[in-house]
Amino acid sequence: MHIEFFGAAGEVTGSCHVLRVGGKTVLLDCGLIQGSRKDEARNRGPFPFDAERVDAVVLSHAHLDHCGRLPLLVRRGFRGPIFAHQASCELATILLADAAKLEERDAEYLTRKLKKKVKPLFTLAQGEQVIRQMRGVKYRERIEVVPGVSVRFRDAGHILGSCAVEVWVQEDSVEKKIVFSGDLGQYDTPILKDPEPIDSADAVLMESTYGNRRHRERDATVEEIGEIIARAGSHKGNILIPAFAIGRTQEVLYQLGRHFDEWGLDRFKIFLDSPMAIETSKVYWEYPHLYDEEATRLRQENGGMPLLPNLNLSRSSEDSMAINRISSGAIVIAGSGMCNGGRIVHHLKHNLGNERHQVIIVGYQAYGSLGRKLVDGHETVRIHGMHVPVKAQVHTVGGLSAHGDQDDLARWYECMENRPPVYLVHGESDSQQAFAEYLHDRNGAKVHQPAPGDRLELL
Ligand SMILES: [Zn+2]
C-alpha cells in the first residue's frame, strides 16, 4: 500500500493524491490547477491513473483547487462514490455549476476566435454527474470508503465543511493511519471553529501554503481595513474587494457588519456582486451548528448575523454593469478571488486607472494571476486585451487569509504527540523549505517535500 503524489506536489493548486491499498484506488481530492493560462492548460493532461479504475474519492473541501477536476474524472469514466462533508456537497454543487458555465462560455469564445472547435474542460452535465456521486458525511463519523480504507472527517477551520481527514488503511492485517490536512484555517477565524486536534498518525500529508509566513494579527488587519475605508471616504473613491465566493466573502460581510457604525459604513453602498457568492452565503446560513461561539451568539441575538442595511445583492449582469456608473462611495465584493475571471475584472478595468480608488486583496494570489500582479506592484496590467495603468491604491491585508500561517500549521501538527513524519504538499518551494526547517527545529520532525510522481510506501 502506498500514496503517489500527483497534484499540489511542489505547488499550491491542483490538490490530488492517489492512495493504493489492496488493489483499490482512492483519490484524496481531485482539484483544478489554477494560475496562469499555461498552468491551467495542464488540467487537460492525462491522469497518472485510469479514471475508470478509481474506486472512490475523499474530498477535503469544496474549493475548486480541491474538487475542480472531478467532472473530468467523471468524463473519463469514474463512477464511484465521492465522500465529502454535507456542507461541501452543497458548496461544490454551486461551484462546479459556475465553473462549468465559464468553461462552456470560454470554449465557445475560443471556437469563434480560432475558427476551430474547442471543447470545454468539462460541461454542466458532467458537473451534475459529480454531485450525483457525492455522499454527504458528518464530522467525526468513521466510515469505510472501500474495503481496507476507512476515514473520519475532522473540522479544518478553513471554510464551511472543510476537513482534515484521518485515513486508516489496512492490508495483510497491518493497519496504518495517515492524516491528510486538506487546507487548514487560522485559529480564531470568525464564523468558523478552530482546526480540530488530531492526536496521532503514522504519516501526515500537510498543506504548507503559508509555511514561511506569519500573518498579521487578525485584529490589526481588521483595523487596517477600517482605515482604508475611512481614507476612501475622504478621497471619495470606490473600494474593490476581490473575494473567493466561499469563506472570504462571508468573512468580509461579517466584519463589515460587526464594524458598521465604527467605520461609518452608512456612507457607502455595499454590493455583493456575485450570484455564486450570494448562493454560497445562503449555505453558510444553513449550517449554524458549525459556527464558533461568537457567530452563534450574534446569530441568536440579532435573529440573524450582523446586519448590513445597505447591502445590495447583484444577481444579473445588468446589476453588475450598473455599478460601473458609480464613481465614488461603492464597496464592491466580487469574484474571482484571484481576479482571473468573474465580475471583479470589469470593475478593475473601470477603477484601476484612478488613484482615488482602493483595492483590498484579502486572499491568496497564485503566480500568474491578475491578483498576483497587483500584489507585486505591476504598473500596468492587461485586461481584456488592453493595457490598464494601476493608479488605484492596492492594499494586501494578509490577516484574513483562510489558510493558517507558520504558527497555526505548527500548532495543528503538534497536537499529534508522536510527531509523525510529514509530507509537505500544497505550497510553493520557498514556503515548504522554510516550514520544513521550522518544524524540524521545533520538534525534530522528519519533513519531506515530495515531487509529483513520488511515492510514500506505507508498508
Ligand atoms: Zn481551500
Q: What is the pLDDT of residues 58-86, one digit of tens each?
A: 999 999 999 999 999 999 999 999 999 99
* Residue among 68, 61, 58 at smallest CA distance from 402: 61
CA 183 to ligand 1 centroid distance, Å: 5
* Residue among 136, 7, 137, 5 at smallest CA distance from 72: 7
> In the prediction, which pLDDT does 107 show?
93
Report how far residue 344's alpha carbon sits from residue 357's, in angstroms, rounded to the nearest whole number. 14
CA 102 to ligand 1 centroid distance, Å: 20
CA 326 to ligand 1 centroid distance, Å: 33
Q: What is the pLDDT of residues 309-356, one digit of tens each?
A: 899 999 999 999 999 999 999 999 999 899 988 899 999 999 999 999
> In the prediction, which pLDDT does 79 show?
97
Burial class, 410, CB count within 10 angstroms (exposed 0-12 / middle 13-18 / buried 19+): middle
CA 243 to ligand 1 centroid distance, Å: 13
CA 244 to ligand 1 centroid distance, Å: 10
Cell numbers found for residue 84: 465529502
CA 238 to ligand 1 centroid distance, Å: 29
Contacts 24+ apart (CB under 8 A), 135-140: 135/81, 135/82, 135/83, 135/84, 135/89, 136/84, 136/85, 136/86, 136/89, 137/83, 137/84, 137/85, 137/86, 138/85, 138/86, 139/85, 139/163, 139/196
CA 136 to ligand 1 centroid distance, Å: 18
Residue 303: pLDDT above 70? no
CA 363 to ligand 1 centroid distance, Å: 11
CA 215 to ligand 1 centroid distance, Å: 17
> In the prediction, which pLDDT does 76 show?
96
Cell numbers found for residue 440: 524540524
CA 174 to ligand 1 centroid distance, Å: 32
CA 239 to ligand 1 centroid distance, Å: 25
Residue 38: pLDDT above 90? no
Q: What is the pLDDT of residues 143-192, one digit of tens each?
A: 999 999 999 999 999 999 999 999 999 998 999 999 999 999 999 999 99
CA 360 to ligand 1 centroid distance, Å: 20
CA 185 to ligand 1 centroid distance, Å: 9
- Residues ≥6 apart with Cβ < 8 Å to 441: none
CA 133 to ligand 1 centroid distance, Å: 21
39: confidence class by pLDDT, cuts 50, 70, 90: confident
More confident residue, 324 or 231: 324
- Starting at the edge strand that comes first in sequence, how are the strands of the sheet with 358-361 ordered? 311-313, 269-272, 330-334, 239-242, 358-361, 393-396
Report how far residue 229's alpha carbon sits from residue 363's, in angstroms, rounded to the nearest whole number. 18
> In the prediction, which pLDDT does 422 show?
97
CA 234 to ligand 1 centroid distance, Å: 36
CA 129 to ligand 1 centroid distance, Å: 22
CA 66 to ligand 1 centroid distance, Å: 7
> In the prediction, which pLDDT does 12 show?
81
Q: What is the pLDDT of residues 120-148, one digit of tens each?
A: 999 999 999 999 999 999 999 999 999 99
Answer yes or no: are the C-beta atoms of 273 and 281 closer than 8 Å. no
CA 91 to ligand 1 centroid distance, Å: 12
CA 147 to ligand 1 centroid distance, Å: 28
Domains of the chain as residue ranges with CATH: 2-213+402-457 (3.60.15.10), 218-400 (3.40.50.10890)
307: confidence class by pLDDT, cuts 50, 70, 90: confident
> In the prediction, which pLDDT does 203 show?
97
CA 300 to ligand 1 centroid distance, Å: 28
> In the prediction, which pLDDT does 86 show?
98
Residue 304: pLDDT above 70? no
CA 158 to ligand 1 centroid distance, Å: 7
CA 266 to ligand 1 centroid distance, Å: 32
Residue 398: pLDDT above 80? no
CA 63 to ligand 1 centroid distance, Å: 5
> Which residues is 2 bridged to in the sheet?
20, 457
CA 404 to ligand 1 centroid distance, Å: 11
Mean pLDDT of the chain: 93
CA 329 to ligand 1 centroid distance, Å: 32
